[in-house]
Amino acid sequence: SDLTSTTASSPKSKEDQVVNGHDEKENNPFAEYMWMENEEDFNRQVEEELQEQEFLDRCFQEMLEEEDQDWFIPSRDLPQGMGQLQQQLNGLSVGDGHSSEDILSKSNLNPDAKEFVPGVKY
């Protein structure tokens, strides 16, 4: 007798609860479409975010271009003739020291002289 009393007191069957594909408990049958109410605001917000991202990308690119202009790049910044001069300078090397000994032996300077200090009289 307990089994019959529980089934009899149970709420309406599942078919009775669903009307037009929506539960009776659901207040607004169009609730799943309510997001469309603010679609224009959502689109505007997404558009603003995209414009902001594009603006940031442009600023970053301009910053990189300015940084490139600040760097000295010989191939770009020197005139064509200067590039040849630079190659010639790169080809020069410091002597091995023998020529400096020749210069010292021919010099008429006094190696024992006091160090020159401008403005001081000896």
Spatial distance between the Cα atoms of 16 and 4, rounded to a whole number of angstroms: 20
Q: Which residues pair with 81 in a beta bridge?
A: none
pLDDT at 52: 97
Phi–psi pair at 117, nearest 5 degrees: -125, 120
Share of the chain above pLDDT 90, in %: 17
In angstroms, what is the C-alpha Rg of the chain? 46
Copy the structure tokens of residue 28: 């607004």
- Contact predicate 17/23, CB 8 Å: yes
Copy the structure tokens of residue 32: 């799943």
pTM score, whole prediction: 0.34
